[in-house]
Chain A
Amino acid sequence: MEVDIGGMKITNPVMPASGAFGEGMDRVIDFNLLGALIPKSITKYPQRGNRTPRACETKGGMINSIGIQSKGIDYYLKETIPYYEQYSIPLISSISAESIDEFVEMSSIIASVTSVAALELNISCPNLKNNGQAFGMSDDITYQLVNRVRKVTDKPILVKLTPNVTDIQSIALAAERAGADSLVVANTPLAMAIDIHTRRPKIGNIMGGLSGPAIKPIIVRQIYQVHEVSQLPIIGCGGIMTADDAIEMMLAGASAVQVGTANFVSPTAMIDIIAGIQTYMEEHQLHRIDELIGGVIVMNQREEDYI
């Protein structure tokens, strides 16, 4: 089940999605069974997050707009990282920042902590400002941002892409050219829901990110597209509820997966998914995860006919 993510070896391909995982879950599952640990994105300064309601349920999913409620980097270095040091698996720090300079500054500080195995640059949170605008919507900015961070650390850099783009391939390539080690495909699609009786948006921040099983086909498509053009290992993220979903993303081109909303529904989801992948591999007599990655069979379907 071992996978290599840009030089970081993980014992199995299942890890939590940042923001859908936290310390409270240690009461329910053994963290050491996961592939890696990713605490909620950290910001430089403490921030309160968005107004409530911050989440609402939709058919087959949920919309959230938390706005990265955060205790700031000092707390993170003093409390969060030491807490995760008790576990033996790689710790990936997810970073959110307001400018390229801030990304560079925070990456440099956090990457210098020995126990941090890799950085995830969250350039795709839809919930901060400007109608869901994110750094990861421009290939130029993505390139500059990743390139600048690349200069301050040798640790693996995972870049979490946004699905809210016209051409995810160009953004993926920009991140790759700039020196990223892995691409997380993807963050949440920007969404909205309205209460028809009160006529009010169901989310305090009006819009939010859609997650859950409803978005999986979009993400499978984007993984497939990114895998077509990029050599980097892909971490699939968006709508995985079961091992079957994870395997589907691997066949589309993902080397590993992140699990988010499923944790809320069943806190043991990640453990069940690991076991399910194992069972599938045995049934199909596969010896390595590599045999799954990008294994979708596309025949007699000329893409030119569709595009």
Chain B
Amino acid sequence: MRDYHVTVLSNKQVSNRYWHLIVDSSDLKEAIEPGQFFNIKSTDYQTYYPLLRRPFSIYRIKEDTLEFLYKAEGAGTKQLATYKPGQKISLLGPAGVSYSIPKNCKKILLLARGVGIATLAALAQKADQMNIEIYAILSARNKDDLLATKTIEKYCTKVYCVTEEDKTSDVEHVRRMIHDLIKTHHIDAAYTCGSRRLSMLLQKITKANGITSQVALEEYMACGMGVCYSCVCDIKRQGVMQTVKSCEDGPVFPLEEVIFE
């Protein structure tokens, strides 16, 4: 982890609500893994609003570039959207625990919602390189929000999209889809990001079927490096309740450990 000052190569609005940022990462010599994040400073140091960095999971990891997909919604992300190609931007990272793929894993299931699709796209890229068959269920409010679908499709054996717009995204429907997938294919591991409801659903199904599963959690962070104890969440590890930091102990956790209230 370091505070890298990298050059913005591209920063474009790609749908009604989402933006796509590409930076030059040729100076980053550290290993960067899917599920990890960078804490990005959306203003220069002389500007005190927005003051804090914002954590962004990595969307695509390439040889010399890093890509992020973000929703321009609050003060920080709106500020981030003003960056132009050629400008320098401060990225602190890579931070956090990444997704892990078990040995001898042959088929995985991805369950993502909204911006969580970007987080799982990075994992799909890696799993594809390991010749793993990937089945993905992507959920969003509407088709316009399903923008990483094209990226993820390249890596996946089969992608299913559900939306509120099509009235296909309700939990009951997704439950049936997951059950069908598990019945038809022998799924070795499952991964999720972006929705508490879907995470709870996947937690129940994977537990009942003895499937290893992981979730990347989203929490408000202040420091993003394990110091401030702002981004804590509760987990149950080996029967013991613990309050852990999602920036350092996560953001990826075994799904069975996470306590959803």
Contact = CB atoms under 8 A, between A and B. Distances in A.
A57 B233 CA distance: 19
B48 A69 contact: no
Interface in B17-60: 41, 45, 48-53
Contact of B49 (A53, A60, A241): A60
Contacts, number: 96
Contact of B3 (A48, A53, A55, A267): A267
Contact of B51 (A53, A54, A265): A265
B128 interface: no
Nearest to B2: A28
A49 B243 CA distance: 9
A59 B45 CA distance: 15
Contacts of B45: 241, 265-266
Contacts of B50: 57
Given A23-B226, A24-B227, A66-B230, A264 B3 contact: no
B225 A25 contact: yes
A265 B227 contact: no
Given A27-B225, A55-B230, A66-B229, A61 B3 contact: no
- The contact size tier of chain A is 35 or more
Interface in A31-61: 40, 48-49, 52-57, 59-61
A48 B243 contact: yes
Nearest to A47: B243
A55 B53 contact: no
B1 interface: yes
A54 B232 contact: yes
A276 interface: no
A179 B48 CA distance: 39
Interface stretch (B150-158, B174-182, B215-223): B215-223
Nearest to A67: B229
A264 B228 contact: yes
A98 to B, nearest CB: 19
Nearest to B52: A57
A28 B93 CA distance: 10
B248 interface: yes
B92 interface: yes
A62 B222 CA distance: 9
B140 to A, nearest CB: 23
A82 to B, nearest CB: 18
B243 A264 contact: no
Of A27, A49, A54, chain B has the most CB atoms within 10 Å of the CB of A54
A64 B222 contact: yes
Contacts of B48: 59-61, 212-214, 241
A276 B2 CA distance: 21
Interface of B: 1-3, 41, 45, 48-53, 75, 90, 92, 219-220, 222-230, 232-233, 243, 248
10 A-B pairs with the lowest CB-CB distances in the bound complex, closest first: A24-B226, A55-B230, A22-B227, A264-B223, A60-B48, A55-B222, A24-B225, A27-B1, A54-B230, A66-B229
Interface of A: 19-25, 27-28, 40, 48-49, 52-57, 59-62, 64, 66, 69, 212-214, 241, 261, 263-268
7 contacts: A21-B227, A22-B227, A28-B1, A59-B49, A241-B48, A266-B90, A268-B3
